[in-house]
Amino acid sequence: MTMDRPAVFGVAFGVAIGVVYIALQRWDMRQKSSAAQPRGMIALIPGAVGRLMFVVVALGLVFRFTDADKYWLTGSLFVSYGVLFLWQLKRMFFSKK
């Protein structure tokens, strides 16, 4: 089975957006943990909103300016983010510290 061009674009862009999103999240978490403890959930909102805006803008640009398949794009975005997020949770909760 060969994938057509829109499917390949969808997978490539989905994986790229997912990897960048989790990299931004990990960077923000490292930055927050190295600084003093944030004051409640309010301190976490700007980073989360910024990352979500990145995903929305990136998806909008990909849908608008490429012929990427939207199903392959969203599926690969969820899978790439999900795998990296679960790996991150595993490292946080099951590491030997």
Residue 44 phi, psi (nearest 5)? -90, -15
* pLDDT tens-digit map of 31-51: 776 655 656 667 777 888 999
The confidence score (pLDDT) of residue 40 equals 65
pTM of the model: 0.80
The confidence score (pLDDT) of residue 91 equals 81
The confidence score (pLDDT) of residue 56 equals 93
Question: pLDDT under 70 in the chain at which residues?
Answer: 1, 33-41, 96-97
Where b means 16+ CB within 10 Å and e means fewer, 43-75 reads eeeebeeebeeebeebbeebeeeeebbeebbee
The confidence score (pLDDT) of residue 3 equals 78
